[in-house]
Amino acid sequence: MSGLSPIAEGLWTDEAKPRLIGGRLQSGQIVFPMPEGDAAQGVEPYNLSRKGTLWSFTSQDFRPKSPYEGPGEGPHDFKPYLIGYIELPGEVIVESLIVDATLNELRLGMPMEFAVVPFNAKHTTFAFRPEQRA
């Protein structure tokens, strides 16, 4: 993914095994993404777990409304994709792209792991995939 830049700055750490960056509120509650501007006052950055469980999922089978800017160049190259909620135990539930799986392979509660993947010709984005067993 050399030469690709993140779809947005500050979403994940820049390390060999990146992690999403959330925030810990003064109450102790964890949120994602890390708030910005005035909303970030008193919020401490918090590196989220790389592993979680699949809480809910679906397939996005039609092109979202404008101003959708997906990986393709035009309206005729849209490809359905998987999206879901990943529960990071004791932290937060994150909405995420799901990769390296088909709809039929997904099961509620299955172990998932964080990944950074290409989004389009210029950017990377975050996703979760079924956990790779060693």
Bridge partner list, 97: 83, 127
What's 12's DSSP letter?
A: B
CA 67 to chain centre: 20
Q: What is the pLDDT of residues 95-127, one digit of tens each?
A: 999 999 999 999 999 999 999 999 888 889 999
- pTM score: 0.88
For residue 71, give its domain range: 5-130
Total domain count, the chain: 1
Whether the predicted pLDDT of 85 surpasses 90: yes
Cα 90 to chain centroid, rounded: 17
Mean pLDDT of the chain: 90
Q: What is the pLDDT of residues 41-84, one digit of tens each?
A: 999 999 999 999 999 999 998 877 776 666 665 556 778 899 99
